[in-house]
Structure 1
Amino acid sequence: MASVSYGIAALVDASGGEPVDLGIAPDEAQALADAIARGADADILVTIGGASVGDRDLVSGTLADAGLVLDFAKVAMRPGKPVFAGRLGSARVLGLPGNPVSALVCGLVFLRPMLCALLGESRDDVLQEAVLAAPLAKGGPRQAYHRAVSAFSSDGTRTVRALPSQDSSLMGALVRADCLIVQPPSSPPVPEGGKVSVLPFPD
């Protein structure tokens, strides 16, 4: 089973891209502007952190000063609400949350499809159907991506179980997981044996 025990750079590499590390910039507008300028030739400029609305969340504002044309900001998903995307010159821009779990979930949901589309590659991680091995509580107001583990029965049926801890501050569940259960907002509870959609992790 695949497991996301790596960071965004490894996800880029696993998706066929070539990651370039622009370094860690402090929460200062000039330092961020310098890092953005270093990534001006990238096909996709990915930022991690500084995407929310705190006093030190300066990334989106600094990108706007550099000429970012915003496509969207904030998504009704859990985890990962502060994600944003747009264009800066010829580069696509994806702003990921600073929380490591949220960043990796958004990387799987947004960054990997972007890379595959640019490379003309087929994806092995499109949504698949699975059967719940344990009940799933009703959905909240945002689309949820539950870290989960799966197994295959002798007839090829995929069974899946959400891990008990879904707190986005905990990396352990993400390391153990091999897929995400995708639960639509405000959806009813799903009993054991019910069908759900899952997003497998790339190999």
Structure 2
Amino acid sequence: MSSQAFLRKKWERVFYTFFDINRNRKIDWNDFEITFEKIKDLRGEDSAEYRIAKEAMGMVWNGLLQNTKGLDIMAQIPADSEITIEEWVTIWKSYNPKHMHMWQWEYLKYMFFLLDKTGDKFIDNEEYRDVMQIYGMSLQDADKAFKMFAVNEKGRRIELIDYGQFVKTWNEYFTSTDERAPGNFLFGPW
């Protein structure tokens, strides 16, 4: 598989698994509403996770529209706005971990916060499993993925992922063309 095809495959996984929740092959506001309901069911309506999810994902949505459509995020967003897979791929082709778009940074922080269920500033396998189930990943696949990406710089398994390790793994997922890189498993096994 070519390096560009591999990157596209990873970007598409995030699009279809974590954003196109209603499975209509595009990202629209309804996808976000469904995600909010899933988080509310998992963590509760009064939880910080639910409140932060709504706030952070609102920023992600606005940023996506600004990036893909050039929409002014301070203006009224058309209700029928949507992001196609091609627009999504175009965004990630220009991804630079040192110069992320604000919405990309918000999404990264949001995902760490969502995965860190206990709030101890670490993600363990159980927390990872709980959240990945929201998005349809099996417990077996979640366990397998965690074992693949939860490694230190020497390739040894670690039990807890801190924010710095998460950022490194995140960036590896979105940029690495090495099919064996641990970060490639952040959003599930291949």
| TM-score w.r.t. length of structure 2 | 0.32
The structure in which a higher percent of residues are strand is: 1
Query: Relative to total residues, which structure has the larger helix share, 1 or 2?
Result: 2
TM-score of the aligned structures, taking structure 1 as reference length: 0.31
